[in-house]
Structure 1
C-alpha cells in the first residue's frame, strides 16, 4: 500500500521537496519523508535526466620557478580550467585568422608578444626579451633583459589566489568514491546519466575507472560521476552480449533470413570501341 502511494506521489517526477509538500497535503505515515527521499533517489528516470554536478573547488598548483618546469600534459578536471581557457582562446584566434585569410603564425607571434594581466608577455617570461613582429619598434626593446624573477613569481601567486577565490564562490567539493560504488556517469558534460560501477581510482587527480552493465570500461572525472543508492546491476560481459546477438540471428525465421548472394558474370558479348582498337 505504501509503495503504491509513493508511486502515485512521484508520477510527475517532482523533486524530493515538492513531493514531500504534496504528501503533507493528504497522506501521512511514520517515516514518510525518509521513504520519499529514498524512493526518489533511486528513480532511474530522474537520475538519467539529473542536471550536471556543481564544479569542484580549484586546486592550488605550484608556481614554477623557471620556464618549462611545469608540464600540464595528462591532467584533467577543474584544477586546470585556466589552461582550458587558454586553449579555447587560441582556437578562437586561429579560427578568426582563417576566416580573415591571415597567417596563423603571425597571429601566434602577436599573442606571444602581448603582455599578460599584471605580467610581462609570454616571450619576455620565457626569453627575457620581446619578439620582432610586423609592428615597428626600437632596437633597444628587442635586447634581452633579465627580469626580476621573485617579483614575477609573487605576481603569479597573487594572480592564482585571485582566480581561486573567484572560481570557488560557486563551487562545491564532491565526496570521494570507493570501488564497487553504484554510480551514474555522463558521456559528455551536459549529457544524460548512464548506469555504472566504480572499478578503482585512476592515477590522475579526481579521475576514476568505471564499468558499465555491458562490461565497457571508461575513465571519467569526478565531476561527471554521481553516486546513487540504486541496487548494483549484474554485469554482462561483451562476450555474452555478442553470444546473445549471435543466437538471435540463428533464431530468425526463414521469412527474415538473408538470401544468399552470388556474383554473376554477364553473358553478353562485349564489343570494344573503335578508338581502343590498335591500327595496323
Structure 2
C-alpha cells in the first residue's frame, strides 16, 4: 500500500483502485462494505453499478477455505505436528525449574494438553 501511494500521482485514485480490486472471493472490499461497485476511471457498464448484496455464505466459505489452505501450507513448511499424549508415570523435564518430574495425571478433558507433574519439591500443572 505504501508503494502504491508513493508511486501514484493522485493518492485518492490509488486508494480507489485498491478498494475496487476484487479479492480471492470475487468481490472487492468496497463491494463487501457498501453492497455495490465503485465508480472509477475504468469504464464499467451502468447495470454493474446498481446495488446488489453479495452472497455472504459463499464469501465466508471461500475465506475459510483460504485460511485452511494457508494453515496446511504453514504446517507442512514448518513440519508442525500434534504432540503425543503423555502417560501417567512418564518422566518429563520441567524447563523453567530445570528439574525432572513424573506425570501424575491429566486434570480435565477441557484442557487436553495440561498435566499434573510431581517434582522433587512440589506438584505443579504444566502444558505439554
Fold shared, TM-score > 0.5 on shorter chain: yes
1:30-70 deviation per Cα after TM superposition (whole angstroms, max 9, x unaligned): xxxxxxxxxxxxxxxxxxxxxxxxxxxxxxxxxxxxxxxxx
How far is the alpha carbon of 1:92 from its aligned partner?
A: 2.2
Gaps of 5+ in 2: 81-95, 98-128
Is the Cα–Cα contact under 8 Å of residues 119 and 155 in structure 1 kept in the other structure? no
- The corresponding residue for 1:96 is 7
Aligned length: 85
Tell me if 1:125 matches 2:32.
yes
TM-score, length-scaled by structure 1: 0.28
Tell me if 1:109 matches 2:109.
no
**Structure richer in strand, relative to its length:** 2
How far is the alpha carbon of 1:138 from its aligned partner?
A: 2.1
Gaps of 5+ in 1: 1-89, 174-179, 182-280
- The corresponding residue for 1:141 is 48
How far is the alpha carbon of 1:172 from its aligned partner?
A: 6.1
TM-score, length-scaled by structure 2: 0.57
Q: Structure 1: which 4+ aligned runs deviate by more than 6 Å?
A: none
Which structure has more RCO (C-alpha within 8 Å, separation ≥ 6)? 1
Alpha-carbon distance in structure 2 between the residues aligned to 1:163 and 1:119: 18
Alpha-carbon distance in structure 2 between the residues aligned to 1:135 and 1:91: 22
Alpha-carbon distance in structure 2 between the residues aligned to 1:168 and 1:91: 30
Is the Cα–Cα contact under 8 Å of residues 94 and 107 in structure 1 kept in the other structure? yes
Task: Let me know the Cα RMSD of the aligned residues.
Answer: 2.5
Is the Cα–Cα contact under 8 Å of residues 25 and 59 in structure 2 kept in the other structure? no
SS of the residue 2:70 aligns to? helix
How far is the alpha carbon of 1:153 from its aligned partner?
A: 0.7
Q: Which has the larger radius of gyration?
A: 1
